[in-house]
A and B are shown apart, each in its own frame.
Chain A
Amino acid sequence: GQQVMQIPQYQHVQEGEDFTTYCNSSTTLSNIQWYKQRPGGHPVFLIQLVKSGEVKKQKRLTFQFGEAKKNSSLHITATQTTDVGTYFCAGPGRYYEKLTFGTGTRLTIIP
């Protein structure tokens, strides 16, 4: 079945440093979504990318969808303590409504 992998699994950064997580799917995706889960919380939808090579920004967050639509990345510039959490990518398989979630990247910030 479809597999979605993320690297790294964990990332510790000093506050103010940049952070990047990478997402790779075993199959071509019609779209890729990103979610953030704070410690003890639930996943919260951040964004959806649809087009090959698409880049979207949300303040300090930059999301990119690969040209082949099999990979994606999330880059955070100048991290803040509010960025702490686990970031998941998710993509649909054969049925567009059914998402497979990536393994997640857990970000911790050293003040």
Chain B
Amino acid sequence: DAGVIQSPRHEVTEMGQEVTLRCKPISGHDYLFWYRQTMMRGLELLIYFNNNVPIDDSGMPEDRFSAKMPNASFSTLKIQPSEPRDSAVYFCASSIHREGNYGYTFGSGTRLTVV
């Protein structure tokens, strides 16, 4: 199993540009989560999907952030326009809730720097 795959690993962009982060969950996992990690705020849940349907997007900072999951094997998180305060590590995680086990598998993350 290749695990959760995120791309790109690193992204440096100028303020005002559009940024798209990509995630491929583990095959068969029915939940997908997007988290953001910063020193100040720790790990914050942005949005999550169940069977490709967004369930809770209350953590999305503002309208500049959007996420989609067009199919079971792909999700994107888009920031438009990007701002320096969006600089963080963005993690995608997936899980399958089976036999009472709820652990997440995280991807390697995308380190975003907005200058």
Residues of A near any B CB (own CB < 8 A): 31, 33, 35, 41-45, 48, 50, 88, 92, 95-101, 103-104
Contact = CB atoms under 8 A, between A and B. Distances in A.
Q: Could you tell me the dominant secondary structure of chain B's interface residues?
A: strand
Interface of B: 31, 33, 35, 42-43, 45, 48, 50, 55-56, 91, 93, 95, 97, 100-109
19 contacts: A33-B104, A42-B91, A42-B109, A43-B104, A43-B106, A48-B101, A48-B103, A92-B102, A95-B56, A97-B97, A97-B102, A98-B48, A98-B55, A99-B102, A99-B104, A100-B45, A103-B42, A104-B42, A104-B43
Given A97-B97, A100-B45, A45 B105 contact: yes
Given A42-B107, A42-B108, A98-B56, A50 B42 contact: no
Given A42-B91, A42-B107, A42-B108, A96 B42 contact: no
Most chain B beta-carbon contacts within 10 A, residue among A31, A33, A42, A45: A42
Contacts of A42: 91, 106-109
Contacts of B104: 33, 35, 43, 45, 99
A48 B99 CA distance: 12
Contacts of A101: 35, 42-43
A99 B45 contact: yes
A101 B37 CA distance: 11
A43 B102 contact: no
Nearest to B91: A42
A31 B101 CA distance: 10
A94 to B, nearest CB: 10
B75 to A, nearest CB: 16
Contact of B45 (A31, A33, A98): A98
